[in-house]
Amino acid sequence: MRQMPTLHTTTISIRSFNNNDHTAVMHIMNMNESDAQAWLEWNIANERQLATLNQPPYGERAIVHNATNTVVGAIGLVPCIDQFGKVGIGSNDDGATHAEVGMFWHVLAEWRNQGIATAAATLLRDYACNQLGLRRIIATTEYDNLASQAVMRHIGMELRRNPTETPPWLQLVGVYEPARVIERFADGTFLRPVTLDDLPEMMALWRAAALQISPTDSIHGLRRHLALSGNLAWALCNSQGTIIGTLLGSDDGRRGWINHLAIHPDAQGHGYGHRLITAVTARLKAQGCEKVNLLVRQANQQVVPFYEKIGFAVDANIFMSKWLNRDG
């Protein structure tokens, strides 16, 4: 059976609802007595049957304030099917729907602003990723629901804004992926995952760093890259959040690749390029890659000593390519 255990911190717990929670359910779900009783019976049966069938533990759990043993809210996991391509989840924004695992929470008004939602969401996030092995969790809300957005940020979610206002529940999507957690350094710089919104700023950086700009350096190209290798695409930012370096890594299943390593000319000479390569190669090694490749343009051979110094060697290979969207 796939039974979710009771989860604890010193202040709150997440547990299954039981028959003694009838009054709490009325307040949390804003239901009358009979509807609350019917919902409670369904919720208890749903949890039991999903566990018996070894299915994911979808459904509401009670958030309990430990000191008073009071049910103060509900939280759970839910299957979500929607057009998540609109916010950069998936390789295309073609109107198709696909499935994600969503997290939701609700805390009673009189118990808000005490960190309870954040504590509960953190507990469930860690259980879902560490015990269930989920690679991604989402949460959705409206543009003006600042409280939910604050919880999303506190638990490490990236907030992705849907430029289309409808449907309202998909206006803003929080995305948490363990492989894309921000890494901070003592000098105030930090590594964070690249998002679709970064493309204009990255293009300006690549031009400043004299990188060759390809037709694939587009929203479509970046969307596909993030869908396939998003955990290997990183931006190095200064303490103000400005992007000063990039690296778009990828994994072809046999070897890793380093692409678009760029450091702004004003930030070069501080080891930032090495920092980016170290971060991405560590992630490649962790997912099973034994070799990492990169390409250097003939006109940019002055960077070869840099790569040699950190362990790369020149291979005597001929690089060939073919454009699939062009004739000939």
Q: Which residues have C-beta within 8 Å of that of residue 222, sequence separation ≥ 6? A: 194, 196, 199
Please state, for a pLDDT cut of 70, what percent of the chain lies above it: 99
Q: Where are the domains of the chain?
A: 7-180, 183-309
Q: Do 7-180 and 183-309 have matching folds?
A: yes
For the ranges 87-101, 144-158, 232-246, the lowest mean pLDDT is seen at 87-101
Per-residue pLDDT band for 224 (boundaries 50, 70, 90) equals: confident
Q: 300 versus 66: which is more confidently predicted?
A: 66
For the ranges 121-125, 279-283, 303-307, 314-318, the lowest mean pLDDT is seen at 314-318
Helix (H, G, I), strand (E, B) or coil at 97: coil
pTM value is: 0.79
| pLDDT, averaged across the chain | 92
Average pLDDT over residues 184-200: 92
The CATH superfamily holding the domain 7-180 is Gcn5-related N-acetyltransferase (GNAT) (3.40.630.30)
- With contact defined as beta carbons under 8 Å apart, do 64 and 16 qualify? no
Architecture per CATH, 183-309? 3-Layer(aba) Sandwich (3.40)
Looking at residue 80, its amino acid is C
Helices (H) and strands (E) in the chain — how many of each?
Answer: 8, 14
Q: 24-48 pLDDT, tens per residue?
A: 999 999 999 999 999 999 999 999 9
For the ranges 71-85, 96-110, 299-313, the lowest mean pLDDT is seen at 299-313
- Best-predicted range by mean pLDDT (66-75, 82-91, 317-326): 66-75
pLDDT of 257: 94
Residue 1 in this model has a pLDDT that exceeds 70: no
Question: Beta strands 172-176 and 70-82: pairing type?
Answer: unpaired
Looking at residue 328, its amino acid is G
Per-residue pLDDT band for 103 (boundaries 50, 70, 90) equals: very high
